[in-house]
Structure 1
Amino acid sequence: MDENIQIETRGDFGLWAIEVASQIVNEQGFELARAARDGTEDDIRGAGNALGQAITTALMEVYDGLLQE
C-alpha cells in the first residue's frame, strides 16, 4: 500500500482490493489470532482495533484517490 497504482477499471479495483485484503489479513489477522490464543482481553481488543484501523486506512486511501480525479 506504499506505492501508487492506477485503477482504471472495475477489474483493476478488484485486483487491488484482493491484494490489500491479503496484506491486511497477513499482518493484522495474525496478530489478532495470536492475541486470541495467548493474550489478555486488552491484547485482543488492541489487535482487533489495529485490524479495523488497517481496513479503514485502506478504504480512505481509495476514497482520497477518487477525489483527486
Structure 2
Amino acid sequence: MEECISIDNRGDFGIWAIEVAKQIVGEQGFDLAKAARDGTEEAVRETGNALGQAITNALMEVYDGLLEGAPD
C-alpha cells in the first residue's frame, strides 16, 4: 500500500477496498490457515491478531487520507 491513489467516489473506494483485501488475505491468510491446521492455540491467536492488525492499518491509512486537506 505504498502507492498513492485518489478516491473520489464510492466506486473508487470499493475498488480500493477489494484490492487491499486481496493483498491482506494473500499476505496474512496463508499464515492463519497454516496455524489453524498445524499450530497451537497461541499460534492461531498470534496470526489472527496479525490479520486483524493488517485490516486495521489499511482502514486507518484510508481514514488518514480522507483527513488530508480537511479543515481543522
Please tell me the TM-score bracket, short chain as reference.
Answer: over 0.9
Measured after TM superposition, the shift of residue 5 of structure 1 is 0.6
Q: List, as ranges, runs of 4+ consecutive aligned residues in structure 1 with deviation greater than 2 Å.
A: none
Which amino acid letter does the alignment assign opposite residue 47 of structure 1? T
Q: How many pairs align?
A: 69
Structure with higher Rg: it is: 2
If the length of structure 2 is used for normalisation, what is the TM-score? 0.91
Which residue does the alignment assign to 1:42? 42
If the length of structure 1 is used for normalisation, what is the TM-score? 0.95
Higher helix share: 1
Structure 1 gaps of 5+ residues are none
Give the aligned CA root-mean-square deviation in angstroms.
0.7
